[in-house]
Structure 1
Amino acid sequence: MNANQHFDTILQQRLDEKESEGLLRKLVDKTSYIDFCSNDYLGFSQKILHNTNPLPSGATGSRLVTGNSALAEATEKIIAHFHHAEAALVFNAGYMANVGLFSCIASKGDTIISDEYIHASIIDGIRLNYANRYKFKHNNLEDLEKKLQVATGQIFVAVESIYSMGGDEAPLEAIVELCKKHSALLIVDEAHAIGVFGNKGEGLVCKYNLQNYVYACIYTFGKALGLHGAVVTGSNTLRNYLINNARSFIYATALPPHTYLQIQEAYTLLPLADRNALYELISYFRDAVKSIKDVTFTDSHSPIQAAIIGDNFKAKALTEKLAAKNIYAKAILSPTVPVGTERLRICLHTFNTKEQIDALVNEIKKISA
């Protein structure tokens, strides 16, 4: 056995350990399944055309080298206007936006306080920073205030408006008041709210008219917009600071030109999307699961719903049973979620039907029978 084979043996042992613990991840081709898993809440991935304009296939470099264009900057102005912000800066992915922002926004001696259920990308960004870091209990205002009282330097508070694993909403208005009281800057990840909430799909910050009290927002294009990339909105000063300090922006090849056209098209479609149809399906699902007595569902009025199974193996088994019925919903395992809260994560979309929801709910009922 050569060195390569020997190391592969070590890696396989690690994979076997994960499998024995019910933690082994596998790729799934979902194209033939009824989709209760993707973040394509409005079905935009099927609506936005592959633009046929004679544009280059690539950006040829980072935005700071050859990748910038009038098209990119025009797109950012459209986005900033849509979200009632002064400026916007596009990143290649939500992960890159969060890592770039949080890794450079604070300095040594400052403090970043984040909800314990915040996105992993924000956690990774904070870890790259020299600031002090505290976590507060999920959506717990009392615990947040305790952390604010001991924070030093410039204080930043990081939350999601809609949390990705349970679909529950942050108490944004109350958090804004606490931030005002302690002179903290609030940063809101709107990944799962854009397109879904607000008169035009602007997200919850705009829905509650809080944009003047939130320092920065992150909007990703890979959820309701059905595309790729992300944007940070805020002041012109913040935009210029990120251009000069966010390494995931500085050293990344820019998005290809046609992607900016698709982003513009998505923002044109957002005000026209039938959000009421989505809300109706959410209500239909919530009513349907009330009859299931032995499974707890998260308290969510968003497209993200979750059935708490409480065991990795049982959650995976439920996913497999659903797949056998041509239904795809994803098991979320610990440590992605806390031990004992392993779950089936269900995403509802405008293209799902009530009949499909009935089939899904009936299968979940069987595990509690």
Structure 2
Amino acid sequence: MRDFAQEIEDRKAAGLYRTRRHVSGPQQPQLIADGEPMLGFCSNDYLGLANHPSLIAAAEHGLSRNGLGGASSHLICGHHEAHHQLEQKLARFTGRSGALFFSTGYMANMGVISALAGKGDTVFSDALNHASIIDGCKLSRATIKTYPHADTDALEQLLAGTDGHKLVVTDGVFSMDGDIAPLRELAQLCHRHDALLVVDDAHGFGCLGPQGRGSVLAQGLTEAEVPVVIGTFGKAFGTSGAFVAGPALLMDYLVQKARTYIYTTAMPPALALASCASIDLVERDDARRAHLAHLVTKFRTAMTALNYQLMPSETPIQPVMVGDARAALKLSADLEKQGLLVTAIRPPTVPQGASRLRVTLSATHTDADLDRLIAGFAASAPQTTHPTRPAVATATIR
């Protein structure tokens, strides 16, 4: 029998053991974690909407009108008018013809990719794509060709040497590095080689593009150029669930074929109504995005002055490279002693030798909050290392 206990001990010895924190109260910068007050810089609540009173009011109203449970799958009797309203709003928001509401981002990626590609087809996947994309590729049973991160020349060679139905899938914003995919070049390649392009913009929606409409529209790309976009409500939108948006024909096809949509209970209607309210907030609140951009610039300037190694990211995801897993844990622990919660990210989430602290900023962080974080890093600066980034990466998580 496999020695599971020894595997756990081995992970502890290598500095790779993972634990869960108990968080009390709402998600916001000022957290209670394991009973202690902490200033958090590791949430994906980029716009600070997870505790917004308008979203809470929309959910409460939805609960009073429609109850709690979804009760059934969408294809039985679970497709509520609130879900339909959300999908119509999503189509308009993303500039696409249709949309579908999924239960989670993981389920959306697995369902969409495995429906749009199958045995005999080929899927081309960026080396730093999220684990849910990688698992969706595997589930499809298509041939998988992984291209080096953001390397469009390498991708073109792979596309040129492949016949049959081709699907290119990429994150819009990469969750562990914070950089943005070269979407315009990818769209041109897909047009030239007759491939379908799918972009998971989970970390771009809300933060990037006009009115927070994501990295695809930030690069001026249309539905014709990037047919399918996937997003989540659990990050900048501050609620829960996920979606895919694209041509009406493909949305109908996914209703027929996406197993993670067909065979799961619909999300509560109240959450759909809260997400509708969130889209309205995201569209009109440029001030939050402006403040967030200010915090990103301030953080990068200060950390560079402290001689920390940052990744080339203009997004709220600001990885601080450390290298060794144990050193990353120590830096995280040093910050925690100062009341600062910043998670250490270690293999297999990132490659060996590329452990880091993944700082994520929120529009609800104040300048004083950021000053406190920078001071914490300054006090811990001698513990950092400056590794060379590995050329090959493994799957990442959000």
Q: Please say whether Structure 1 and Structure 2 have the same fold, judged by a TM-score greater than 0.5.
A: yes
CA contact (8 A) 2:178 2:313 kept: yes
**Which residue matches 1:288?**
302
Q: CA deviation at 1:361?
A: 2.3
Greater shift in the superposed pair: 27-36 or 339-348: 27-36
Structure 2 residue identity aligned to 1:225: F
Tell me which residue corresponds to 1:159.
170
Report if aligned partners of 1:200, 1:270 keep a CA contact under 8 Å in 2.
yes
Residue matched to 1:56 = 67
Q: Look up the match of 2:77.
A: 66
Q: Which residue identity does 1:17 align to in structure 2? A: D
> One-letter code of the match for 1:281?
L
The CA distance in 2 between the partners of 1:298 and 1:88, in whole Å, is 33
Tell me, yes or no, if the aligned pair for 1:109 and 1:152 is still in contact at 8 Å.
Answer: no
1: distance between equivalents of 2:118 and 2:73? Answer: 26
Aligned equivalents of 2:278, 2:376: Cα separation in 1: 35
Alignment of 1:266-285 (within 5 A): 266-273=278-285, 274-285=288-299
User: What corresponds to 2:231 in structure 1?
Assistant: 219
Secondary structure at the residue paired with 2:149? Answer: coil
Q: SS state of the match for residue 264, structure 2?
A: coil
Per-residue deviation, residues 278-321 of structure 1 (Å, max 9, x unmatched): 1111111111112122x311011000000110011111111111
The residue identity in structure 1 corresponding to 2:155 is L
Structure 1 stretch 359-368 or stretch 117-126: which is displaced more?
359-368
Q: Structure 1: which 4+ aligned runs deviate by more than 6 Å?
A: none
Partner of 2:353: 340
> Would the aligned equivalents of 1:35 and 1:352 in 2 still touch at CA under 8 Å?
no
The corresponding residue for 2:396 is: none
Aligned to 2:389: none
Q: Show the counterpart of 1:242.
A: 254
The answer to whether the Cα contact below 8 Å between 2:292 and 2:362 also exists between their aligned partners in 1 is yes
Identity of aligned residues (%): 35
Q: Answer yes or no: is the 8 Å Cα contact 1:200–1:272 preserved in 2.
A: yes
RMSD value, Cα: 1.5
CA distance in 1, matches of 2:367, 2:98: 41
Q: 1:102 aligns with which of 89, 101, 113?
A: 113
Contact in 2 for aligned 1:303/1:349 (Cα 8 Å): yes
Match of 1:190 among 187, 192, 201: 201
SS of residue matched to 2:217: helix
2:226 alignment partner, SS class: coil
* Amino acid of the structure 2 residue aligned with 1:74: Q
Amino acid at match of 2:51: Q
Contact 2:91 2:98 in 1 (8 A): yes
Give the residue type in structure 2 aligned to 1:168: D
SS of residue in 2 equivalent to 1:339? coil
Distance 2:83 2:179 in 1: 33
Q: Secondary structure at the match of 2:65?
A: coil
Amino acid at match of 2:42: C
Alignment partner, residue 17 of structure 1: 10
1:250-282, CA deviations, whole angstroms, 9 ceiling, x for partnerless residues? 110000110111011001101222211111111
- Kept in 1, the 8 Å contact 2:304–2:310? The answer is no
Is the 2:180–2:215 contact (alpha carbons within 8 Å) kept by the matching residues of 1? no
In the alignment, structure 1 segments of 5+ residues that lack a partner are: 1-6
**Contact 1:288–1:358 (CA<8 Å) still a contact in 2?**
no
Q: Which runs of 5+ in 2 are unaligned?
A: 24-30, 33-37, 383-398
Superposed CA offset, 1:224-255 (max 9, x none): 01111000001111111111111111110000
Aligned residue runs from structure 1 range 1-369, under 5 A = 10-30=3-23, 31-32=31-32, 33-47=38-52, 48-49=55-56, 50-52=59-61, 53-211=64-222, 212-273=224-285, 274-293=288-307, 295-369=308-382
* 1:5-39 deviation per Cα after TM superposition (whole angstroms, max 9, x unaligned): xx8x9433221111111111100135322120000
Aligned length: 361
Q: Secondary structure at the match of 2:265?
A: coil
Partner letter of residue 60 of structure 2? Answer: N
Distance in 2 between residues matched to 1:219 and 1:41, nearest whole Å: 14
Which region of structure 1 is more displaced relative to structure 2, 198-207 or 261-270? 198-207
Deviation at 1:106, TM superposition (A): 1.0
Q: In 2, distance between residues paired with 1:12 and 1:354?
A: 45
Q: Distance in 1 between matches of 2:117 and 2:198?
A: 12
